[in-house]
Chain A
Amino acid sequence: MASRENRRSVTYAPDIVDTGSSNESVFPSPETHTHTHTTTRGPRHGSHAAANIIAQLPSHQPFSDTHLTVSRARSLSHQSRSSLRRRSTMRTTLTRGPTSRVPTSGLGVDLVDSAVEVEDEEMNWRRRQTIKDMTTSLTLKKHFRDRLKSSPTTKLSGYEKWKLNRSVEWERFKVRFKDALSNLEVWRGSFKEVEGHFGTGIMSYFRFVKWIFFLNVYIAVITFCVITLPHLILEPHDFLATVAVTPSSSQQAGDNMTNVTMTTESLTTLTMTTVIVVIDNGTSSSNDTSGGTAALSGNTDYVGQAQECTLDYRVHLQNKSMNATPGDYILDFLQGTGFMEDTILFYGQYFNKTFLDKQTVYNMSLAYLLATAAYFLLSLILMVRSAAKGFQENLVTSGDRFFQYTNMVFTGWDYALASEKAGELKKKNLFQEIKNELEEERRAQRAATRTTGQKCRLYTVRVLSNILVVGILGGSFYGIFRVVDFSEKEITNRNTDDFVSLLLQYLPSITITLLNIIVPEIFNRIIMVEKYSPEFEIRLSLIRTVFLRLTSIGVLLVSIYVAIVSCRQKKCGNCNFPNDPYLCWETYVGQQIYKLVILDFLVVAGVTIFAEFPRKLLVTRFHKNKLMKLVGQQEFDIPKNVLDVVYTQTLCWLGAFFSPLIPAITVLKCFILFYLKKWSLMKNCIPASKPYRAARSNFFFMVVLLLGFAFTAVLPIGVCIGMIKPSQSCGPFRLYSAQNFVMYTTITNLVSTAPSEVQQAFYVFGSTVFHIPVVIVLSIAIYYNTAITSGHKKMMKLLEEQLALEGKDKQFLLNRVNEAIQRGELRASDTDVMASDSN
């Protein structure tokens, strides 16, 4: 059948066999590997025979008949399985031995001829798809492919053929799609630059920024198209005009209503006419200041309320921006007040649109809620997808310390490095790391185990430091709370627009930012005394810092909540303060978040430009100075920067509800941040001295992002939609439809207008009768998956042990054969498998 002289077997050249004595590494040339060579050469001593036999073991044969037919038979029986399995069987048959890249003729003959002669088209095509994974040279691959193409195949017909054609088309489409997609890839050159100089670890940060950038682009597109664009385009452009022809108000509307001029410049005339109209209609515009709605029997004039509140708000805004100076404009831009307040930046501007003639409504409230749900869902899906990829990797790796040294050596070198300096540094780092690990191990072996007294002391220290950490966190949260309170009161007391007022406005944000800078440093000092292992140390300090950052936003929100919701006096759904009534609390929240966003950007940019650059100049200029040596060169601190990005994104999610343009602002921020950080990295930083384990940490950061998403974005917005009454003077929800109107009521109103089957379905999905079984089923699924995973782990251990035992068996048998040959009971040629091979 197959030509024997073309088989390549890996043999040990005689010199190498002496494993103990000589250390020379011989590079065997292909000529010594011919088959005939080993049979004619007699054994010089027993180990030659051993080498002989080892060379003939099936696992060392790249293209042996039996091996091929066995695996081919296996693959044929698994025709319906995925090509992945076929790929692996292909691989084991074709790729043993380092010399298999050298092309020889006739190898293709082995592959095709030895098994079933004719296969169908689909098998042929699938085999061609797996040629990519062959670890041979390109010429050989071409050779195989041509052989596969030209080998006879049975033609398929009918359904099978159609299926095959679909698969082929789909593969082609995927390739074309990928090609087109690669045109859109941004920042490719920057990634290459960063990777070449600093390695893959730091590049993972920039990939993260790019991922966040695109996420924000999608969110911004959603909010713009669904909320802002219709608002800008569709008539009418003023809330009061819409109210004029809403059906609910038709019973009150006299003809006078329609005569009202709808320009915002003529505010006074507007006020006058509307007031007249309201009085004319004789409806009791429930204008009570005693906390909300009139005690009329379900016939309350929500429209009137909304109208009046809107007017009040407008007057208030007009008054405020009466004497605006240019300086005021800048302050307003930074604070989001004044002229900025009544723009599309904030929630307050939007309202339900009604076409004056056709009575159709662009239900802005519904659009608002649906857009929010859409971008939350999109973010969730993208995040889970990204985390799942990392999680799969984590599941396979069973703990970093286990293969510690092997990983250090075999995955230590970062192949992407391209600069001399980085290469030298990497070598130094590896050397240091290896030395440290060995030293650590020796020390641990030498030192006696910790005495009970020492252990006790260590644990006490740990408990105390944890209490201290909790105390510091609690203290900072209380501090934020007090500061917010204080700044509220001061602002309402002052009511002037000057720089001090600006400072007061920004006081909560500044406090939070300062705490975010100082407290992590304190945590770093504390964790040094706790003497954890390095991995755990990093994790723990990250967890603490993350906790601080996210809950500080939470505290801010809570304090705002307290200010908005729990006050005694309420007018138009807002709390009423003597001097500065929050006539629109949603806009107020939006402004706070806007300030946080701006401040965050300024701080990050400022620190980069004004702290890192001078530091580098100083350290390089005065590098002989002891103090400068202590400060040291700047290293790019990945965890801190990633947390910054997570913080930015959380603010974006939170703010998008109250200020639909914040995602666009965040897009801009990400863009500028990318280039700023890259510039700072290339100019100011040196490569890291400790290696950064990218895979594990990326998964961890995605988890942190998910946590921030769930607790600091979805939860507050959910509370806001479901439990707090919207204000009646601004926003798409100003028209109440019932006494206890919350934003979510829009949805229930919509459902109640749907056919009864839909309503029924809705009620079923919302009820507990549905939820409890779902929870039970999900819990069972989770438990089942956990059980499977632990089963796999056990299986892996078993297989490892089996592998070890098999290896030992092999050694044992080889030794016996060796002894037998030496004793003369067996001749070397008897062990020659090839001779006895029957064809």
Chain B
Amino acid sequence: MGGSDSKFDEQELEDYQELTYFTKKEILHVHKRFTQLAPDLVEVDKNATLPQDKIMMLPELRVNPFKDRICKVFSSSGDGSMSFEDFLDMMSVFSDNAPKNVKVEYAFRIYDFDEDDMISSNDLKEVIDRLTGEQRLGEEDMQQLIDNIFSEVDLDGDENLSYAEFEHVMSKAPDFTNSFRIRL
């Protein structure tokens, strides 16, 4: 962790500390993990932009069914490639110190596949398919599940989950903060 000290000066670390939920040590640790993804690219530019497939090599992301959505949401260029600052931001949101409302907001964006600011039944279907992996739920099961979810959460009955409804549910979910967390 001490080796990459020379890469960032004091002011930059101060900046990052002010803008994320990390301490200086943690920021350096995150950079180390970032470097491990593509050492040659990062050597040249410490804030290099890595393509999506390199980012998805991170063990925690590789096994995650929503890895492409995560990369897309946190990427500042919108195409899934992430610079170090994007990566740092991502890890900051997934860290222990991020407050629940920030996590809920990003979770909503990750699960909103068509990016229309609503989680429609299509989005939901996609989420469930990805969660169950190779085994797929049958048509009838899937429809029943989607109906159940909407009956629990969709307050205004428009067959869409708006952000307000999503936040309402997640703020009551006891395990959300526990599960929406990556520790580096």
Let me know if A695 and B156 touch, CB within 8 A.
Answer: no
Q: Is A48 an interface residue (CB 8 A)?
A: no
Q: Is B43 an interface residue (CB 8 A)?
A: no
Chain A residue contacts of B4, Cβ below 8 A: none
Let me know if A413 and B117 touch, CB within 8 A.
Answer: no
Chain B residue contacts of A804, Cβ below 8 A: 155-157
Let me know if B101 and A415 touch, CB within 8 A.
Answer: no
Name the one of B20, B135, B172 contacting A403, with C-beta atoms under 8 angstroms.
B172
Query: Which chain A residues (403-446) contact chain B, with CB distance < 8 Å?
Result: 403-407, 409-420, 422-424, 427-428, 430-431, 434-435, 438, 441-442
Give the complex CA separation of A362 and B31 in angstroms.
55
Let me know if A431 and B133 touch, CB within 8 A.
Answer: yes
Q: Is B173 an interface residue (CB 8 A)?
A: yes
Known: A128-B18, A145-B18, A200-B178. Contact between A427 and B133, CB under 8 A?
yes
Known: A405-B148, A413-B64, A422-B63. Contact between A27 and B115, CB under 8 A?
yes
Give the complex CA separation of A135 and B89 in angstroms.
9
Give the complex CA separation of A195 and B182 in angstroms.
10
A-B contact pairs, 27 of them (CB 8 A): A10-B117, A16-B116, A27-B114, A101-B78, A103-B76, A133-B102, A137-B76, A145-B19, A191-B183, A402-B152, A406-B152, A407-B173, A409-B127, A410-B173, A410-B176, A411-B173, A420-B63, A427-B133, A430-B131, A434-B141, A435-B137, A694-B175, A695-B175, A803-B155, A803-B164, A806-B156, A811-B157
Let me know if B122 and A23 touch, CB within 8 A.
Answer: yes
Interface string of B51-87 (1 = CB under 8 A from A): 0000000011011111000000111111000000110
Query: Which chain B residues (129-148) contact chain A, with CB distance < 8 Å?
Result: 131-135, 137, 141, 144-145, 148
Q: Is A139 an interface residue (CB 8 A)?
A: yes
Q: Is A102 an interface residue (CB 8 A)?
A: yes
* Chain A at the B interface: SS class: helix
Q: Is A400 an interface residue (CB 8 A)?
A: yes
Q: Is A30 an interface residue (CB 8 A)?
A: yes
Let me know if A400 and B174 touch, CB within 8 A.
Answer: yes
Chain A residue contacts of B131, Cβ below 8 A: 409, 412-413, 427, 430-431
Closest to B82 in A: A137
Shortest C-beta distance, A414 to chain B (Å), equals 5
* Chain B at the A interface: SS class: helix
Chain B residue contacts of A98, Cβ below 8 A: 73, 109, 112, 115, 117
Let me know if B172 and A397 touch, CB within 8 A.
Answer: yes
Chain A residue contacts of B75, Cβ below 8 A: 101
Chain B residue contacts of A28, Cβ below 8 A: 115-116
Let me know if B23 and A179 touch, CB within 8 A.
Answer: yes
Instruction: Using CB atoms and an 8 Å cutoff, list the residues of chain A in contact with chain B.
Output: 10, 12, 16, 19, 23, 25-28, 30, 60, 88, 91, 95-99, 101-103, 128, 131-133, 135, 137-139, 141-142, 145, 175, 178-179, 182-183, 191-192, 195-196, 200, 393-394, 396-398, 400, 402-407, 409-420, 422-424, 427-428, 430-431, 434-435, 438, 441-442, 693-696, 800, 803-804, 806-808, 810-811
Chain A residue contacts of B182, Cβ below 8 A: 415-416
Let me know if B105 and A135 touch, CB within 8 A.
Answer: yes
Let me know if A102 and B152 touch, CB within 8 A.
Answer: no
Q: Is B94 an interface residue (CB 8 A)?
A: yes
Known: A23-B122, A25-B122, A200-B179. Contact between A696 and B153, CB under 8 A?
no
Chain B residue contacts of A442, Cβ below 8 A: 144
Give the complex CA separation of A135 and B168 in angstroms.
18
Name the one of A402, A411, A803, A807 contacting B176, with C-beta atoms under 8 angstroms.
A411
Chain A residue contacts of B63, Cβ below 8 A: 417-420, 422-423
Known: A409-B127, A806-B156. Contact between A131 and B19, CB under 8 A?
yes
Chain B residue contacts of A393, Cβ below 8 A: 174
Shortest C-beta distance, A87 to chain B (Å), equals 8
Known: A10-B117, A27-B114, A427-B65. Contact between A182 and B105, CB under 8 A?
no
Shortest C-beta distance, A448 to chain B (Å), equals 20
Let me know if B181 and A138 touch, CB within 8 A.
Answer: no
Give the complex CA separation of A13 and B135 in angstroms.
33
Let me know if A179 and B24 touch, CB within 8 A.
Answer: yes
Count of A-B residue pairs with CB < 8 Å: 234
Let me know if A394 and B174 touch, CB within 8 A.
Answer: yes
Let me know if A413 and B132 touch, CB within 8 A.
Answer: no
* Besides the known contacts A412-B179, A415-B64, 16 further A-B residue pairs in the complex with CB atoms under 8 A apart: A23-B122, A135-B93, A135-B106, A182-B23, A393-B174, A400-B174, A404-B152, A407-B169, A407-B175, A410-B173, A413-B66, A416-B182, A420-B62, A430-B131, A442-B144, A693-B175
Shortest C-beta distance, B52 to chain A (Å), equals 14
Let me know if A694 and B178 touch, CB within 8 A.
Answer: yes
Let me know if B113 and A413 touch, CB within 8 A.
Answer: no
Closest to B159 in A: A19
Chain A residue contacts of B148, Cβ below 8 A: 405, 441
Let me know if A431 and B135 touch, CB within 8 A.
Answer: yes
Known: A16-B114, A431-B135. Contact between A418 and B59, CB under 8 A?
yes
Q: Is B99 an interface residue (CB 8 A)?
A: yes
Closest to A390 in B: B174
Shortest C-beta distance, A12 to chain B (Å), equals 6
Let me know if B155 and A175 touch, CB within 8 A.
Answer: no
Name the one of B25, B76, B171, B180 contacting A179, with C-beta atoms under 8 angstroms.
B25
Known: A16-B114, A25-B122. Contact between A132 and B18, CB under 8 A?
yes
Chain B residue contacts of A91, Cβ below 8 A: 101, 105
Q: Is B149 an interface residue (CB 8 A)?
A: yes
Chain B residue contacts of A175, Cβ below 8 A: 17, 23
Q: Is B45 an interface residue (CB 8 A)?
A: no
Chain A residue contacts of B60, Cβ below 8 A: 196, 415-418
Q: Is B21 an interface residue (CB 8 A)?
A: yes
Let me know if A132 and B21 touch, CB within 8 A.
Answer: yes
Chain A residue contacts of B105, Cβ below 8 A: 91, 95, 135
Give the complex CA separation of A196 and B181 in angstroms.
11
Q: Is B37 an interface residue (CB 8 A)?
A: no
Shortest C-beta distance, B59 to chain A (Å), equals 4
Give the complex CA separation of A744 and B122 in angstroms.
71
Q: Is B107 an interface residue (CB 8 A)?
A: yes
Give the complex CA separation of A417 and B16 in angstroms.
27
Known: A175-B17, A428-B133. Contact between A419 and B59, CB under 8 A?
yes
Chain A residue contacts of B183, Cβ below 8 A: 191-192, 195, 416
Give the complex CA separation of A19 and B120 in angstroms.
9
- Top 9 A-B pairs, shortest CB-CB distance: A807-B156, A427-B133, A423-B63, A25-B114, A695-B174, A138-B85, A137-B76, A804-B155, A431-B132
Known: A145-B19, A438-B145. Contact between A800 and B179, CB under 8 A?
no
Chain A residue contacts of B170, Cβ below 8 A: 410-411
Chain B residue contacts of A128, Cβ below 8 A: 18
Known: A409-B149, A410-B169, A438-B145. Contact between A416 and B181, CB under 8 A?
yes
Q: Is B124 an interface residue (CB 8 A)?
A: yes
Shortest C-beta distance, B43 to chain A (Å), equals 21
Interface string of B153-168 (1 = CB under 8 A from A): 1011111000011001
Closest to A801 in B: B155
Q: Is B34 an interface residue (CB 8 A)?
A: no
Chain A residue contacts of B42, Cβ below 8 A: none
Give the complex CA separation of A96 and B169 in angstroms.
19
Chain B residue contacts of A694, Cβ below 8 A: 175, 178
Known: A400-B174, A410-B111. Contact between A811 and B19, CB under 8 A?
no
Q: Is B128 an interface residue (CB 8 A)?
A: yes
Name the one of A139, A178, A191, A405 contacting B23, with C-beta atoms under 8 angstroms.
A178
Let me know if B172 and A102 touch, CB within 8 A.
Answer: no
Give the complex CA separation of A400 and B59 in angstroms.
31
Chain B residue contacts of A418, Cβ below 8 A: 59-60, 63
Chain B residue contacts of A394, Cβ below 8 A: 174
Chain A residue contacts of B164, Cβ below 8 A: 803
Shortest C-beta distance, B143 to chain A (Å), equals 10
Closest to B182 in A: A415
Chain B residue contacts of A806, Cβ below 8 A: 156
Give the complex CA separation of A25 and B112 in angstroms.
11
Q: Max chain B CB contacts within 10 Å: which of A103, A131, A428, A431?
A: A431
Let me know if B152 and A403 touch, CB within 8 A.
Answer: yes
